[in-house]
């Protein structure tokens, strides 16, 4: 009878390879999703719109103002915060009710759909806004 004091362990390299593959996939997806989250266009605070050009512009004095921005995709922002059409109407109504002398600055991308601009203008007219300014850049 043979009695052995040690057990022979079989080392399987298949589990090491599978662990390596799973770890690499985890790292790949973790980096990919973190980059997608970081560079998501809805998280960008600086709104880049290509303003239309105008021959005659007047600078606005530093007074209380609210910026409404319309992008070429049709998204609407109120002071750099993304809003829906209903939220835009409700928030502007509240702001205007608290301060009727506030200036509304409409910044629209030059490629924005005209129906989005008309909706904002119609909403502001319904609210009764008197101080509306359309932002443009001077021709060079």
Give 1-49 pLDDT, tens digit per residue: 666 666 666 666 667 778 888 899 999 988 888 887 777 666 555 667 7
We report the CATH number of the domain holding residue 68 as 3.30.420.270
Q: What pLDDT does 44 receive?
A: 52
Residue of 78, 77, 75, 69 whose CA lies nearest to 50: 69
Looking at residue 44, the DSSP 8-state letter turns out to be: -
> What residue has token string 């932002």?
135
Question: Judging by DSSP bridges, how do beta strands 81-83 and 137-138 pair with one another?
Answer: unpaired
37 belongs to a structural domain:
no
Q: What percent of the chain has pLDDT over 70?
A: 81
pTM score, two decimals?
0.61
80 belongs to a structural domain:
yes
Q: What percent of the chain has pLDDT over 90?
A: 30
User: Which residues span the domain enclosing 101?
Assistant: 53-138
């Amino acid at each position: 009878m043979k009695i052995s004091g040690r057990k022979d362990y079989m080392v399987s390299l298949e589990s090491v390879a599978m662990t390596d593959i799973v770890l690499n996939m985890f790292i790949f997806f973790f980096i990919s999703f973190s980059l997608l989250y970081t560079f998501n266009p809805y998280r960008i605070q600086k709104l880049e719109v290509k303003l239309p050009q105008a021959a005659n512009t007047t600078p606005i004095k530093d007074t209380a103002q609210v910026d409404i921005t319309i992008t070429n995709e049709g998204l609407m922002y109120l002071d750099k915060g993304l809003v829906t059409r209903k939220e835009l109407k409700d928030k502007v109504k509240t702001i205007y009710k608290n301060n009727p002398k506030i200036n509304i600055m409409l910044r629209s991308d030059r490629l924005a759909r005209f129906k989005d601009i008309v909706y904002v203008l119609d909403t502001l007219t319904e609210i009764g806004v008197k101080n509306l300014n359309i932002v443009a850049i001077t021709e060079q």
